[in-house]
């Protein structure tokens, strides 16, 4: 790693990277050939949604929508000169190794929420802990921004922490933006906006940190052309919000977008809402107090009473994507047509199903505790249709949306029991829990 950091040219970095890849392949690792990701990225249009490759599932290695971390940094997308990583848990040495495999060396700024693992830092790395006053709140966002030599940038929104375990045998999702070129110096701050106001929302989100290290990144975003971005940014930031400010964050933002841009058939009731997350937070004295009162209605059409019925728990099944045994750390939310052929919208996010992540109404206003970030996919802006197909209908004009799990959903067996960490009373779990302050995925 020291040799790589000392390289002063793209050519010398490429040599070191090639040697490292050769060594890893000899040790039995399957490393994607550098320089080819731009083609895979083009094939992912118009959604640009990827799932992490699963090390123990060889079938995922050749999938068009599978991705490894070095591919995000691939030289075919450009030479990276600066990078920003906002995350929950970061293994800095692992992250640097990913840059080495991609042959990229950059000035790097890292903001993290819970843990950052490193023995020493190179001079080109700045690392900052995001402190939150609320006891059980966390900085759970997973965003990357890359700046290239041509001054363009790229935004990546993910569900994965920056450590090996999250990128090897766990199902994760990520969205990668197109290359966002630098606007002319004469451009106005409002120029280069996307039809979804993604740029404005990202600037608003980054500004809420009030972190000097992000000032230059806010400027880079303002100077970039986001006109090709066709998705919405949905984020959460700790605070108490009132009036119009509530529509900027959490479930209120989702309701704001869906009520304006999503149209469902009049017989909307049979379209079930599917919330898929890796953990569920405290929902109050009963699930009706938050889940049915706030969350489910926000994902339904405005002013319709189509949320009757009781929530059902289903187990993760993903044989179609060869991820049946890869624990889902991905978080996604959608509605599915009764015939299981289409969806009217899709959310990929870091936010688990919790009040802290999505927000809740309290006496003093609309309260959010966590930092979170995600993407809303709306057909109106991506395919110019009212729904996304999720099965092959022989219409090449509208590509299939890559739902990460199998349909129909798989109910639990009658004798299955949920894993609840408070119920673990064995000695080994007691010892493990005694050294663990909290469990957040």
- Give me the residue label for tokens 């919330």: 275
Please choose, from the candidates 198, 195, 191, 192, the residue with its C-alpha nearest in 3D space to the C-alpha of residue 232. Answer: 198
Any long-range contacts for 117-126 (C-beta under 8 Å, 24+ apart)? 117/90, 117/91, 117/92, 117/93, 117/163, 118/91, 118/92, 118/93, 119/93, 121/92, 122/5, 122/96, 124/5, 125/92, 125/96, 126/213
Structure tokens at 42: 């083009």
331 is in an annotated binding site: yes
Q: Are the C-beta atoms of residues 212 and 219 closer than 8 Å to each other? A: no
384 carries a ligand binding annotation:
no
Q: Is 48 a catalytic residue?
A: no
For residues 329, 334, 339 and 340, what is the CA-based torsion angle, rounded to 10 degrees?
A: -20
- What is the CA angle 429-324-162, rounded to 5? 65
Please provide the size of the chain in residues: 441
Query: What burial class does residue 377 get, using C-beta atoms within 10 Å of its C-beta: 0-12 exposed, 13-18 middle, 19+ buried?
Result: buried
Active-site residue flag, 261: no
Calculate the CA dihedral of residues 257, 260, 263, 268 and round it to 10 degrees. 70
The two tokens of residue 87 are 């995350």
Is omega for the bond preceding 408 within 30 degrees of 0, making it cis? yes
Catalytic residue among 48, 139, 256, 329: 329
Q: What angle do CA 134, 175, 334 make, to 5 degrees?
A: 75
Strands (E) in 17-105, as ranges, are: 49-52, 66-67, 80-91
Q: Is 157 exposed, middle or buried (0-12, 13-18, 19+ CB in 10 A)?
A: buried
Q: How far apart are the first and last CA of the chain?
A: 30
User: Which of 282, 281, 307 is closest to 294 using CA atoms?
Assistant: 307
Q: Catalytic pick from 140, 179, 261, 364?
A: 140
Residue 218: φ, ψ to 5°: -60, -40
Which positions are annotated as active-site residues? 140, 329
Binding site, annotated residues for substrate = 142, 331
Binding site, annotated residues = 142, 331
């Amino acid at each position: 790693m020291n040799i790589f950091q000392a390289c002063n040219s793209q050519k010398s970095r490429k040599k070191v990277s090639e040697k490292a890849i050769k060594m890893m392949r000899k040790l039995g690792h399957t490393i994607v050939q550098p320089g080819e990701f731009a083609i895979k990225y083009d094939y992912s249009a118009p959604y640009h949604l990827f799932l992490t490759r699963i090390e123990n599932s060889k079938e995922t290695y050749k999938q068009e929508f599978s991705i490894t971390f070095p591919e995000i940094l691939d030289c075919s997308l450009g030479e990276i000169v600066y990078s920003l990583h906002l995350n929950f848990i970061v293994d800095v040495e692992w992250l640097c190794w990913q840059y080495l495999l991609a042959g990229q060396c950059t000035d790097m700024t890292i903001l993290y929420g819970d843990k950052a693992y490193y023995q020493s830092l190179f001079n080109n790395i700045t690392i900052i802990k995001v402190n939150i006053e609320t006891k059980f709140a966390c900085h759970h966002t997973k965003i990357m921004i890359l700046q290239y030599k041509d001054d363009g940038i790229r935004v990546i929104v993910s569900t994965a922490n920056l450590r090996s375990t999250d990128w090897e045998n766990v199902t994760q999702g990520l969205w990668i933006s197109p290359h966002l070129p630098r606007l002319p110096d004469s451009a106005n701050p409002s120029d280069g906006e996307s039809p979804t106001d993604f740029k404005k929302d990202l600037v608003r989100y980054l500004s809420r940190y009030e972190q000097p290290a992000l000032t230059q990144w806010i400027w880079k975003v303002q100077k970039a052309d986001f006109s090709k971005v066709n998705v919405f940014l949905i984020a959460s930031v700790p605070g108490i919000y009132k009036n119009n400010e509530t529509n900027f964050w959490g479930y209120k933002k989702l309701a704001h977008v869906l009520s304006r841009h999503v149209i469902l058939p009049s017989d909307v009731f049979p379209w079930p809402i599917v919330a898929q997350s890796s953990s569920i937070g405290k929902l109050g004295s009963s699930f009706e107090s938050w889940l049915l009162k706030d969350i489910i209605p926000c994902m339904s059409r405005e002013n319709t009473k189509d949320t009757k019925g009781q929530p059902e728990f289903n187990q993760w099944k993903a044989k179609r994507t060869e991820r049946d045994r890869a624990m889902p750390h991905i978080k996604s939310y959608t509605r599915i047509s009764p015939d299981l052929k289409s969806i009217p919208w899709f959310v990929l996010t870091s936010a688990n199903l919790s009040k802290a992540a999505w927000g809740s109404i309290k006496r003093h206003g609309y309260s959010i505790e966590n930092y979170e970030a995600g993407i809303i996919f709306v057909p109106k802006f991506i395919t110019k249709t009212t729904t996304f197909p999720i099965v092959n209908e022989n219409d090449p004009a509208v590509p299939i949306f890559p739902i990460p799990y199998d349909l129909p959903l798989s109910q639990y067996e009658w004798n299955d029991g949920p894993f609840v960490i408070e119920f673990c009373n064995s000695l080994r779990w007691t010892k493990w829990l005694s050294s663990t302050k909290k469990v957040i995925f």
